[in-house]
């Protein structure tokens, strides 16, 4: 019996080791290139991040699959690199003219001369991942073939669409490609379903004349696609161009591009702009502009968004001294109570009133908060401390 158990235990260990992924291991590209030249096989480089859930899922579930492993071992030399390590940064810089790694995992298929064959990003199922590998082996699907086909006849819509898709997979803005094609068409020809698809997929620079053209002719493009698709495209362009600028606090480029998005006259875009305006003014600590932006648009765009109202009101508590602004913050926080009670909301209103030196109102909401806490079985320590603070100042 002991012998059977021992053999069973050993078999479990063997299975465990057999399932450990050995397909995409960290290696040096120069070593892999030498191996590629000897084996006469192209290369696949996986750019991953240690924190990336999708990367780890593929390592644990896809690369351990026998069919996947057999296909890639037979047809490619595979390697992986931590994209955020010094080695990964160096590789990204080395290939930045050929592709850009913008998300994880990214798989780049290259030949032994470092020419890009194909580029894909994201988490793939077994069949998808094998198919992507098969496609990258076919000359007609490779980057340079698709690029050369387009350049041979820039007026060809099918070639243009294929190059747009391929370039975007490689991390590039396809706007210049699309503009080359569009220059071969008359204004009237642009209002077709096919040319709409080319513009919708290829033009992503908010400063491009084509985006202004779409915004000006929304009704005409809606006829060949749909109002929803046209709006969705303009909302995406606004978000894609402005969100990162706001988060980085890049005021020069943000305020340069913002008026273009505002000119779209689309409520969803205006709502995004309001949120981005708050983000960028907070990033650069321009609290006067933050206050003005909030007071103008809170009720219009976030009146039923409790979390955003709390965030704005908290910033007013911490950074705004203007009486009218603080009174507005009180009303916004009261609105959050209409959306649902919480201890934090009562505490915030009390502190806002305390900052306004309205001690009776501050005490009233602090005591309401304490009562609510008791009713829900929440801790009352913070509210009791706040009540004590208010009473001491009231005296």
User: For the domain bounded by 21-141, which CATH number is listed?
Assistant: 3.40.30.10
Calculate the average pLDDT of the chain. 94
Q: What is the arithmetic mean of pLDDT over 256-285?
A: 98
Q: What is the pLDDT of residue 393?
A: 87
Return the HEC string of the chain: CHHHHHHHHHHHHHHHHHCCCCCCCECCHHHHHHHHHHHCCCEEEEEECCCCHHHHHHHHHHCCCHHHHHHHHHHCEEEEEECCCHHHHHHHHHCCCCCCCCCCCEEEEECCCCCEEEEEECCCCHHHHHHHHHHHHCHHHCHHHHHHHHHHCCCCHHHHHHHHHHHHHCCCCCHHHHHHHHCCCCCHHHCCHHHHHHHHHHCCCCCCHHHHHHHHCHHHHHHHCCHHHHHHHHHHHHHHHHHHHHHHCCHHHHHHHHHHHHCCCCHHHHHHHHHHHHHHHHHCCCHHHHHHHHHHHHHHHCCCCHHHHHHHHHHHHHHCCCHHHHHHHHHHHHHHHHHCCCHHHHHHHHHHHHHCCCHHHHHHHHHHHHHHHHHHCCCCHHHHHHHHHHHHHHC
Q: What is the arithmetic mean of pLDDT over 186-206?
A: 96
Express each pLDDT in 27-49 by its tens digit: 999 999 999 999 999 999 999 99
Express each pLDDT in 315-343 by its tens digit: 999 999 999 999 999 999 999 999 999 99
Q: Where are the domains of the chain?
A: 21-141, 142-204, 301-395
Predicted confidence (pLDDT) at residue 53 exceeds the cutoff of 80? yes
Q: What is the pLDDT of residue 19?
A: 60
The topology under which CATH files domain 301-395 is 1.25.40
């Amino acid at each position: 019996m002991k012998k059977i158990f021992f053999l069973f235990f050993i078999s479990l260990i063997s299975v465990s080791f057999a399932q450990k992924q050995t397909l995409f291991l960290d290696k040096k590209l120069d070593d892999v290139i030498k191996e590629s030249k000897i084996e006469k096989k192209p290369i696949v480089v996986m750019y991953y991040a240690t924190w990336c859930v999708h990367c780890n899922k593929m390592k644990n579930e896809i690369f351990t699959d026998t069919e996947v492993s057999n296909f890639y071992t037979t047809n490619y030399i595979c390697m992986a690199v931590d994209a955020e390590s010094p080695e990964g940064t160096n590789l990204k810089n080395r290939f930045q003219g050929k592709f850009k790694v913008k998300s994880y995992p990214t798989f780049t298929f290259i030949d032994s001369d470092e020419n890009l064959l194909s580029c894909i990003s994201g988490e793939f199922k077994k069949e998808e991942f094998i198919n992507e590998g098969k496609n990258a082996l076919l000359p007609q699907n490779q980057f340079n073939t698709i690029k050369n086909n387009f350049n041979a006849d820039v007026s060809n819509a099918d070639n243009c669409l294929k190059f747009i898709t391929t370039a975007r997979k490689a991390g590039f803005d396809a706007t210049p490609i699309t503009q080359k094609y569009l220059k071969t068409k008359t204004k009237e020809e642009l209002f077709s379903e096919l040319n709409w698809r080319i513009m919708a997929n290829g033009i992503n620079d908010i400063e491009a004349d084509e985006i202004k053209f779409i915004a000006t002719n929304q009704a005409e493009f809606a006829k060949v696609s749909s109002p929803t698709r046209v709006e969705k495209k303009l909302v995406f362009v606004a978000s894609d161009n402005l969100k990162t600028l706001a988060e980085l606090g890049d005021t020069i480029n943000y305020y340069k591009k913002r008026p273009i998005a505002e000119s779209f006259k689309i409520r969803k875009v205006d709502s995004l702009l309001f949120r981005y305006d708050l983000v960028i003014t907070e990033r650069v600590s321009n609290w006067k502009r933050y206050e003005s932006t909030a007071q103008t648009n809170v009720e219009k765009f976030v009146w039923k968004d409790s979390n955003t109202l709390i965030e704005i009101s908290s910033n007013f508590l911490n950074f705004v001294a203007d009486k009218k602004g603080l009174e507005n913050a009180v009303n916004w926080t009261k609105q959050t109570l209409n959306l649902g009670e919480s201890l934090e909301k009562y505490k915030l209103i009390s502190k806002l009133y305390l900052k306004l030196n309205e001690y009776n109102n501050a005490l009233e909401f602090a005591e309401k908060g304490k009562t609510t806490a008791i009713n829900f079985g929440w801790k009352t320590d913070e509210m009791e401390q706040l009540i004590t603070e208010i009473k001491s100042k009231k005296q």
